[in-house]
Amino acid sequence: MIEFRDVQYRVGGISILKDINLTIPDGVFAAIIGPNGAGKSTLIKLLLGMQDPSEGKILIDDSPRDSWLKHNGFGYLPQREEYDRGFPATALDIVLMGIAGRIPWGRRVGDEHRERALSIMQDTGIIDKAHSPIGNLSGGEFQRVMLSRAILSDSKYLILDEPEAGIDRHSVVSFFKLLKELNDAGKTVITVSHDLHTLNKYSNFLICLNKTLHCHDHSELIDQQLIDKTFDEHTRLIEKDY
């Protein structure tokens, strides 16, 4: 379980996040939605320990965030991760980076690590690209590689920041189906996304954020009333069938 208690985050006296009281239960597929500049990525960075709250505290499994992070970690897929397409690494090499922090200094990746990585790549549907240079991967393929890397960390939490960015519609739907399968298997999934239609189908816990929380609870429907409250009167929910 993840808890934000009276969390505030300010930069130069300007409030980026304020009065955040949020509990994310284990086992949910949580969606964080809100307009640009709402503080969604900042909320994720606070959770990951990349930034510290100005006030308040964050608890993970009833332990203070920093204490929990000393012995645990998150499976994390960052927003639009940049990479050198000419870098001489294969998809498997990138996935194996997910255990970099767990291998003692001076030891190399073992056969057991490679077998585990390949097994995960099989599950994520990217096994046929295991030995392909990363420069040859499409956007959707690279996202599956990054998800495989996150899963290899063996965290019960998967954190994703706009995983649909830069990939086509078919790949987005396929990717979220995979996330739902991981969630059904026991992973707690927390994703920032602007894809409200896809989230409406796959997520079961909604966090509406615009510098402060507008709601967080189990939700079966992202409707126009919620959109008006979280975004503005210029945003409309249009039904589409993919």
CA 24 from chain centre, in angstroms, equals 14
Cα angle at 214 between 188 and 23, to 5 degrees?
35
Dihedral sign for Cα 135, 138, 144, 146, please.
positive
- Residues in Cβ contact with 64 at an 8 Å cutoff, skipping those fewer than 6 apart: 57, 58
- Rounded to whole angstroms, the maximal C-alpha distance in the chain is 57
Mind listing the pLDDT tens digit of every residue in the chain (242 residues)?
999 999 999 999 899 999 999 999 999 999 998 888 889 999 999 999 999 999 999 999 999 999 999 988 899 988 765 566 677 889 999 999 888 766 655 567 778 889 999 999 998 889 999 999 988 998 888 888 988 999 988 899 999 998 877 677 777 888 889 899 999 999 999 999 877 777 878 888 988 888 888 776 665 555 566 666 666 554 444 344 44
Of the candidates 160, 188, 155, the one whose C-alpha atom is nearest the C-alpha of residue 175 is 160
- What domains appear along the chain, each with residue ranges and CATH number? 1-74+157-168+190-242 (3.40.50.300), 81-154 (no CATH)
Q: Is the pTM of this model over 0.85?
A: no
The C-alpha R_g of the chain, in whole angstroms, comes to: 18
CA 113 – CA 152 distance, rounded (Å): 9
